[in-house]
């Protein structure tokens, strides 16, 4: 049975996007629920290992999925040597993520990435460069990546990013609250950060590589959702271990549980180290299998990635022309 979208269906993408989800208002901290959450590492690792080996989308279906993946990318630059010029070039790429002749051949002119993700200082340059495009700017605020600056300054940074025009705020949680089991502190912190974001959507970065166990990842995911996170995100990209499939399974299943109990859909953003088109396909199929096609839309799924787009563009070029170009021909993606 054919289960993947075909290219002709995918061409309908701009017309068939669902209504954006209502925001997550959050719920009271439910410690019974939090304490009941477990994670069976060996079962999770077995399931994760089976992904990418069992099913693969090919040809037109693969091109359609790769185009879908592009619309879900938070095109990111988070480097100490970022400049306004680099951000402007990144934004130009966000507006036109694939060569126009390739998009025309694929029947998908006009697609863009999901958002551009930058440090607070680069928000004005990104907002200006994306004006009129409809592409939101996401700011990593709250003392990214460690999140250890004074709490009032982290809240103030959120406010400044929103004032500068960021429509999405990627906050980092205090890992110590998870490592010490202080779920009330994590909940309160997240709640205040959510409030500081106002109308801007908030993604909670768990920095899963620093949380010690999959059970902690599951519990932290749940607490952040209870406190009002619109998205939960794996990593800053700066930890020693960033997005992985086992961690993704745990977070995605936490999203599923939260939806089943509250009716609220939370988005998922794996981030850090996702740089190959084939990895993007595995993540998309994971979303489809665990949560369903509704979670394959950019309002509920994003890749946090600085270099993934270049490899996807290479694969699409191969799909259209039959030839691979050198990676250097796809700069800034
Ligand atoms: O949130 C996004 C990450 O920082 C990007 O990580 P990456 O440079 O490994 O793609």
In the chain, the percentage of residues whose pLDDT exceeds 90 is: 85
The terminus-to-terminus CA distance of the chain in angstroms comes to 35
Domain ranges of the chain: 26-329
Query: pLDDT at position 330, please?
Result: 72
Pairing of strands 115-119, 137-140: parallel
ipTM of the complex in this document: 0.96
C-alpha 133 to ligand 1 mean position (Å): 23
Angstrom distances, CA of residue 293 to CA of 263, 275, 287, 288, 300: 16, 23, 7, 5, 10
Is position 269 annotated as part of the catalytic site?
yes
- The binding-site residues of ligand 1, defined as CB within 6 angstroms of any ligand atom, are 76, 78, 117, 236-237, 271-273, 304-307
Q: Comparing C-alpha atoms, which of 272, 152, 154 is closest to residue 207?
A: 272
| pLDDT band (50, 70, 90) for residue 109 | confident
| pLDDT band (50, 70, 90) for residue 128 | very high
Q: What's the whole-number mean pLDDT along residues 94-101?
A: 94
Query: Taking a C-beta distance cutoff of 8 angstroms, is the pair 277, 283 a contact?
Result: no
Q: What is the pTM of this model?
A: 0.93
- Superfamily the domain 26-329 falls into: Aldolase class I (3.20.20.70)
- Cis omega (within 30 of 0) for bond into 145: yes
């Amino acid at each position: 049975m054919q289960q993947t979208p075909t290219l002709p269906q995918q061409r309908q993408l701009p017309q068939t996007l669902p209504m954006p989800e209502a925001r997550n208002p959050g719920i009271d901290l439910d410690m019974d629920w939090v304490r009941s959450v477990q994670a069976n590492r060996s079962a999770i690792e077995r399931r994760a290992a089976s992904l990418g080996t069992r099913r693969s989308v090919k040809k037109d279906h693969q091109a359609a999925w790769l185009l879908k993946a592009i619309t879900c990318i938070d095109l990111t630059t988070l480097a100490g040597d970022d400049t306004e010029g680099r951000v402007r070039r990144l934004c130009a790429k966000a507006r036109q993520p694939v060569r126009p002749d390739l998009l025309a051949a694929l029947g998908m002119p006009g697609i863009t990435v999901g958002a551009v993700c930058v440090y607070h200082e680069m928000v004005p340059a990104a907002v200006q460069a994306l004006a009129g495009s409809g592409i939101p700017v996401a700011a990593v605020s709250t003392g990214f990546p460690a999140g250890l600056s004074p709490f009032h300054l982290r809240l103030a940074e959120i406010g400044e990013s929103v004032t500068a025009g960021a429509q999405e705020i990627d906050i980092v949680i205090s890992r110590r609250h998870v490592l010490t089991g202080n779920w009330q502190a994590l909940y309160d912190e997240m709640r205040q950060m959510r409030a500081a974001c106002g109308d801007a959507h908030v993604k909670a970065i768990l920095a899963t590589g620093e949380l010690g166990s999959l059970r902690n990842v599951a519990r932290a995911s749940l607490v952040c959702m209870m406190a009002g996170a619109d998205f939960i995100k794996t990593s800053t990209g700066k930890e020693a271990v960033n997005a992985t499939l086992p961690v993704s399974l745990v977070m995605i299943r936490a999203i599923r549980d939260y939806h089943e109990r509250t009716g609220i859909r939370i988005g998922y953003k794996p981030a850090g180290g996702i740089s190959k088109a084939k990895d993007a396909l595995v993540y998309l199929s994971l979303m489809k299998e665990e949560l369903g096609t509704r979670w394959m839309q950019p309002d509920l799924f994003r890749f946090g990635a600085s270099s993934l787009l270049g490899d996807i563009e290479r694969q699409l070029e191969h799909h259209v022309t039959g030839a691979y170009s050198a990676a250097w021909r796809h700069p800034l993606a």
